[in-house]
């Protein structure tokens, strides 16, 4: 495998509804911005990888509509759909295409326009044998697992609400973030409508319209195009059993994320993630999930996640800032959300994150989480 780096990133302003742009136009906006950020044109791109959950928009084979917006004309183009991990999985696929020597420059584009479709109904179209009779959507499934996690680890609704407040406060520094709630309080989160005990409305991610793109370049090309490329040091994905009842206390054990992190950390030599990482962009669709990820990613001992948020360790000014972009809790166009995690981690390494830049980032972590069946871990570094 060749050393491969991210040399550019671009995204749209994420909002509730982008009525001014068709899906192809939305995707093109992100792709064009990423190409400009990388200082290249589409002519330089060897291959395109797309990420989207097509059922949400009801266009089978969306690459037949949107692919040209991503610049797929006469280029190798493929699409990946793995739920919430669609974006990070596409980033891993694009990395493999580049690092393997197949292509020198690869463009990855993820998008979703939830405003146009039937996301909630789409998410209820689960396993027809066992799940559909009792489907309760993403929120219900998360709430079930949160009840186990909270009972075992003792995390409180207040600690979860602090995660939600942190995300929205950070998002206020990110002009592309969807939810802009700089003055949100813990009380407001706890008083917001209950979706499924113990998950309140403001504990949950929004549904956004948006697109995000990154550009990979192989060693030899990357250094010429970018003064400070974000080198990919590890890219790992893991799949789990698909029936929620078969998973042993999923947020407590988090087998996929733990296993992916272990493999990635070993490759890079991470033994103390809290100390070694300078920033993390993790895929937290719900406030409680971020606390569970702290443990699964080894940021703290089991049972100490609540203390981490209480002590401000993961705030912008803390030892390990988590989601300075505002995270999925502030912006969630599903097919793009994973690409956003990787793009934001890369922007931090490239020192192009703007008002939410963390000083002196050399090592950054990005993760993805898809339904309850996938976890992705990607580590980026200023060093090869």
Partner 1 sequence: MTELLKISHTMTLAWRYGASWYFAEFIRALRDEQRLLGLRCPICRRVYLPPRPVCGNCHAELREWVEVKDSGTVRAFTIVHTPIIDPTTGQPRPTPYGMALIQLDGADTTLNHYLAENDPAKLQIGMRVQAVWRAERKGTLNDIAHFASISPIAERDAQAASSQASSSKLQSPISNLHSPISNPQSLFITAGVNLSFNYAAGKAASRFLIALRDEKKIFGARCPSCQRVLVPARSFCPRCFVDTSDWVEVGPNGTLGAFAATDNLAFALIRLDGADTALVHRVNVTNADELRIGLRVAPVFAETRRGHILDLAYFQPA
* 22 scored as a contact of partner 1 (CB under 8 A): yes
Cβ atoms of 237 and 260 within 8 Å: the answer is yes
Residue closer to partner 1 (CB basis): 113 or 166: 113
Residue closer to partner 1 (CB basis): 136 or 276: 136
Return the residue of 190, 243, 263, 298 that touches partner 1, per CB under 8 A: 243
How many chain residues bind partner 1 (CB under 8 A)? 66
Bridge partners, 232 (sequence order): 380
Tokens 């559909």 belong to: 132
Residue closer to partner 1 (CB basis): 31 or 280: 31
* 275 scored as a contact of partner 1 (CB under 8 A): no
Alpha helices in 286-373 (DSSP H): 287-296, 305-310, 327-330, 334-350
* 18 scored as a contact of partner 1 (CB under 8 A): yes
For residues 380 and 310, give the distance between their C-alpha atoms in angstroms, rounded to a whole number.
28
For residues 291 and 153, give the distance between their C-alpha atoms in angstroms, rounded to a whole number.
10
* 137 scored as a contact of partner 1 (CB under 8 A): yes
**Which structure tokens are listed for 13?**
């302003």
* 245 scored as a contact of partner 1 (CB under 8 A): yes
Return the residue of 39, 175, 197, 311 that touches partner 1, per CB under 8 A: 197
Distance between alpha carbon 164 and the CA centroid of its chain, in Å?
16
Cβ atoms of 11 and 30 within 8 Å: the answer is yes
- Tell the smallest beta-carbon distance from residue 86 to partner 1 (Å): 19
Question: Which helix (H) or strand (E) element contains residue 134?
Answer: none
Return the residue of 10, 69, 94, 321 that touches partner 1, per CB under 8 A: 69
Angle (deg, nearest 10), helices 157-171 and 287-296: 100
- Tell the smallest beta-carbon distance from residue 361 to partner 1 (Å): 32
* 147 scored as a contact of partner 1 (CB under 8 A): yes
* 17 scored as a contact of partner 1 (CB under 8 A): yes
* 130 scored as a contact of partner 1 (CB under 8 A): yes
For residues 368 and 339, give the distance between their C-alpha atoms in angstroms, rounded to a whole number.
9
Q: Which stretch binds partner 1 (CB under 8 A): 136-144, 163-171, 284-292, 324-332?
A: 136-144
* 304 scored as a contact of partner 1 (CB under 8 A): no
Instruction: Name the DSSP letter for residue 193.
Output: P
Residue closer to partner 1 (CB basis): 204 or 270: 204
- Which of 85, 43, 47 minimizes the C-alpha distance to 67? 47
* 122 scored as a contact of partner 1 (CB under 8 A): yes
Pairing of strands 209-218, 105-113: antiparallel
| Peptide linkage before 198 cis (omega within 30 of 0) | yes
Bridge partners, 8 (sequence order): 215
Residue closer to partner 1 (CB basis): 193 or 317: 193
Residue closer to partner 1 (CB basis): 195 or 353: 195
**Which structure tokens are listed for 106?**
């690869």
Return the residue of 83, 94, 110, 117 that touches partner 1, per CB under 8 A: 117
Sites of contact with partner 1 (CB under 8 A): 17-25, 28, 32, 41-42, 57-58, 68-69, 71, 73-74, 113, 115-118, 120-126, 128-137, 139-140, 143-148, 151, 193-199, 240-246, 249
């Amino acid at each position: 495998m060749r050393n491969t780096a991210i040399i550019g990133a671009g995204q749209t302003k994420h909002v509730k509804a982008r009525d001014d742009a068709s899906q192809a136009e939305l995707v093109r906006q992100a792709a064009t911005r990423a190409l400009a950020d990388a200082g290249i044109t589409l002519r330089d791109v060897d291959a395109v990888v797309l990420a989207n959950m097509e059922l949400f928009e009801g266009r089978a084979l969306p690459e037949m509509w949107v692919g040209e917006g991503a610049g797929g004309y006469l280029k190798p183009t493929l699409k990946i759909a793995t739920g919430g991990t669609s974006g990070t999985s596409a980033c891993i696929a694009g990395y493999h295409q580049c690092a393997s020597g197949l292509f020198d420059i690869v463009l990855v584009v993820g998008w979703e326009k939830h405003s146009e479709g039937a996301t909630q109904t789409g998410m209820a179209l689960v396993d027809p044998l066992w799940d559909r009779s009792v489907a309760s959507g993403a929120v219900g499934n998360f709430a079930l697992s949160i009840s186990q996690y909270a009972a075992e680890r003792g995390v409180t609704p207040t600690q979860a609400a602090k995660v939600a407040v942190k995300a929205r406060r950070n998002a206020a520094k990110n002009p592309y973030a969807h939810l802009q709630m700089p003055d949100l309080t813990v009380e407001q989160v706890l008083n917001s409508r209950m979706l499924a005990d113990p998950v309140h409305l403001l504990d949950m991610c929004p549904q956004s319209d948006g697109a995000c793109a990154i550009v990979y370049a192989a060693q030899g090309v990357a250094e010429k195009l970018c003064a400070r490329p974000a080198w990919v040091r590890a890219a790992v994905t893991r799949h789990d059993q698909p029936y929620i009842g078969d998973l042993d206390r999923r947020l407590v054990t988090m087998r996929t994320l733990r296993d992916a992190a272990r493999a990635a950390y070993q490759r890079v030599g991470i033994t103390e993630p809290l100390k070694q990482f300078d920033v993390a962009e993790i895929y937290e669709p719900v406030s409680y999930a971020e606390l569970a990820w702290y443990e699964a990613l080894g940021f703290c001992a089991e049972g100490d996640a609540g203390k981490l948020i209480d002590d401000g360790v993961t705030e912008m000014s803390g030892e390990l800032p988590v989601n300075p972009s505002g995270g999925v809790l502030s912006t969630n166009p599903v097919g793009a959300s994973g690409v956003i995690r990787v793009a934001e981690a890369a922007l931090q390494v490239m020192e192009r994150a703007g008002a939410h830049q963390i000083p002196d980032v050399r090592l950054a972590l990005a993760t993805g989480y898809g339904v309850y069946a996938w976890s992705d871990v990607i580590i980026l570094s200023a060093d090869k």
